[in-house]
């Protein structure tokens, strides 16, 4: 038989480009469920990733999103030292109008059929209540409410990881990791941001906060003794650390030119508008960037703890390990003169390759 020729847009071609193992398309006419589960790599353990519900304009857009996000989860689990693989799922639809209990339970049955190869959690467009519905059909779900044995709000764990990442960067630049007297601008003081401000102020850092929600801004600033600043001026501040905890892509060609900070370390996902271009720009400008997917891994750690049955104390210890992991990334970036994102990716890839070899030798 002649070799199969693949079009550029073919699913197999896209899977090959990213190195995916498995994709499951879930279709249920009765509930209107249209979902794609992508399992990227299970070398280190079962693929864990959130389920996103979004109004994708096309199936191609949904597929690209799930492929990109699931691959990211493999790297996140690997660099954090967790025994987890990478996966993600997307449900096509409007979470406000299309989502029903029946749909989520039907989706739970699809996850059940994967026999533990994929474990899910909440993401954009899904909630703890949805995880509860999935839990009615399968055990392979995390982020269920605490009353059902879940691990609860991940934000304090995420904030702890970000805080440890900041300390690792401070140690690199200033020789010790004390934050006393260091100035930090926290952009976005929602669930993670507020917990981070708390930790920073406990160590006597000088903290500036910004948020588009004026009321929240003033309340949080007053509560922790931080200085409220307009969200328009955050990049003009002459601070040691900029901690993005709101949106992605805030580190771009325009903002990098404005920045006076020495370190960028925060919770937001996809902080660099373009990982390669802006990673290099930061390296050239001498701004130390703590890779977001590493230092915001507390949410994943929280999910992992839920399936491993860990205590809150052990969960926090795992988040503290982000300090050492960040130190290793900074070291590699320095010795190999590569961006910190590239260094993090290389460390994650090496761990997966090493474990693959061990597995193959048994
Ligand atoms: P959140 O929605 O609770 O808080 C975000 C805050 O940012 C809100 O208060 C919002 O008003 C503010 N904001 C929005 N736009 C802003 C702007 N332009 N300038 C200043 N403030 C702005 O979200 P969260 O759970 O705290 O998560 C924060 C970020 O961290 C998100 O990007 C999220 O994806 C990422 N993250 C969160 C977790 C977690 O455990 N919650 C884990 C990993 C990554």
pLDDT of residue 150: 86
Q: Is the CB of 267 under 6 A from ligand 1?
A: yes
Q: Is the CB of 152 under 6 A from ligand 1?
A: no
Beta-carbon contacts of 65 under 8 Å, excluding residues fewer than 6 positions away, are 52, 54, 56, 90
pLDDT of residue 147: 85
| Cβ 86 vs Cβ 68: under 8 Å | no
pLDDT of residue 2: 61
Greater confidence (139 vs 6) lies with: 139
Q: Note if 160 is an active site residue.
A: no
Q: Is the CB of 247 under 6 A from ligand 1?
A: yes
Question: CA-CA distance, 134 to 298, in Å (whole number)?
Answer: 23
**What b/e string do you get for 13-45 counting C-beta neighbours within 10 Å, with b at 16 or more?**
ebbeeeebbbbbebeeeebbbbbbbbbbbbbbb
Report domain extents, the chain: 11-67+85-148, 155-297+323-348
Judged against a pLDDT cut of 70, whether residue 1 lies above it is answered with no
Beta-carbon contacts of 253 under 8 Å, excluding residues fewer than 6 positions away, are 273, 277, 278, 281
Question: CA-CA distance, 58 to 52, in Å (whole number)?
Answer: 15
161 CA distance to ligand 1 centroid (A)? 15
pLDDT of residue 294: 97
pLDDT of residue 286: 94
Measured from the Cα of 246, ligand 1's closest atom is 7
DSSP-derived letter for residue 22 is E
State the CATH architecture for 11-67+85-148: 3-Layer(aba) Sandwich (3.40)
Q: What is the mean pLDDT of residues 340-345?
A: 95
Task: Tell the residue nearest (CA) to atom 42 of ligand 1.
Answer: 299
245 CA distance to ligand 1 centroid (A)? 5
- Provide the pairing of β-strand 22-28 with 33-41: antiparallel
Q: Is the CB of 161 under 6 A from ligand 1?
A: no
- List 51's β-bridge partners, or say none: 89, 122
213 CA distance to ligand 1 centroid (A)? 12
Q: What is the mean pLDDT of residues 80-105?
A: 97
pLDDT class for 291, splitting at 50, 70, 90?
very high
Q: Is the CB of 158 under 6 A from ligand 1?
A: yes
Q: What is the pLDDT of residues 209-264, one digit of tens each?
A: 999 999 999 999 999 999 999 999 899 899 999 999 998 999 999 999 999 999 99
Q: Is the CB of 324 under 6 A from ligand 1?
A: no
pLDDT class for 296, splitting at 50, 70, 90?
very high
Q: What is the pLDDT of residues 44-57, one digit of tens each?
A: 999 999 999 999 99
**For helices 59-80 and 298-308, angle between their N-to-C axes, nearest 10 degrees:** 80
Q: Quick one: what percent of the chain has pLDDT higher than 90?
A: 85
pLDDT class for 4, splitting at 50, 70, 90?
low
- Which fold does the domain 155-297+323-348 belong to in CATH? Rossmann fold (3.40.50)
Measured from the Cα of 155, ligand 1's closest atom is 40
Q: Which of 13, 34, 76, 88 is catalytic?
A: 88
- Mean pLDDT for all residues in the chain: 94
Q: Is the CB of 302 under 6 A from ligand 1?
A: no
Task: Tell the residue nearest (CA) to atom 33 of ligand 1.
Answer: 268
| Residue 151 token pair | 């691990």
pLDDT of residue 3: 64
- SS3 state of residue 7: coil
């Amino acid at each position: 038989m002649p070799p199969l020729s693949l079009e550029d847009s073919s699913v197999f071609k896209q899977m090959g480009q990213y190195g995916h193992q498995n994709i499951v398309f879930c279709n249920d006419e009765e509930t209107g469920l249209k979902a794609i589960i992508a399992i990227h790599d299970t070398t280190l353990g079962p693929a864990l990733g959130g389920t996103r519900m979004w109004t994708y304009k096309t199936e191609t857009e949904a597929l690209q999103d799930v492929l990109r996000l699931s691959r990211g989860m493999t790297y996140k689990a690997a660099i954090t030292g967790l025994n987890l693989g990478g996966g993600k799922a997307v449900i096509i639809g409007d979470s406000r109008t299309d989502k029903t209990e029946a749909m989520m339970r039907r989706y739970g049955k699809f996850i059940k059929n994967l026999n533990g190869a994929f474990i899910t959690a909440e993401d954009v467009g899904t909630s703890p209540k949805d995880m509860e519905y999935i839990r009615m059909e399968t055990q392979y779900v995390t982020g269920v409410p605490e009353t059902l044995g879940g691990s609860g709000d991940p934000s304090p764990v995420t904030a702890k990881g970000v805080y440890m990442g900041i300390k690792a960067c401070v140690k690199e630049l200033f020789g010790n990791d004390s934050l006393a007297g260091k100035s930090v601008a926290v952009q976005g003081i929602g669930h993670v941001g507020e917990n981070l401000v708390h930790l920073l102020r406990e160590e006597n850092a000088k903290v500036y906060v910004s948020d588009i929600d004026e009321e929240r801004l003033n309340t949080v600033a007053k509560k922790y003794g931080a200085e409220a600043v307009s969200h328009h001026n955050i990049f003009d501040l002459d601070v040691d650390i900029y901690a993005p905890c709101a949106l992605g892509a805030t580190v771009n060609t325009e903002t990098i030119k404005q920045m006076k900070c020495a370190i960028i370390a925060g919770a937001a996902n996809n902080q660099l508008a373009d990982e390669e271009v802006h990673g290099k720009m930061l390296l050239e400008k001498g701004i130390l960037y703590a890779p977001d997917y590493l230092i915001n891994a507390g949410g994943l750690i929280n999910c992992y703890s839920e399936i491993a049955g860990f205590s809150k104390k052990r969960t926090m210890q795992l988040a503290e390990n982000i300090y050492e992991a960040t130190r290793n990334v900074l070291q590699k970036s320095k010795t190999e003169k590569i961006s910190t994102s590239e260094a993090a990716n290389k460390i994650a890839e090496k761990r997966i390759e090493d474990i693959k070899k061990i597995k193959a030798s048994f």
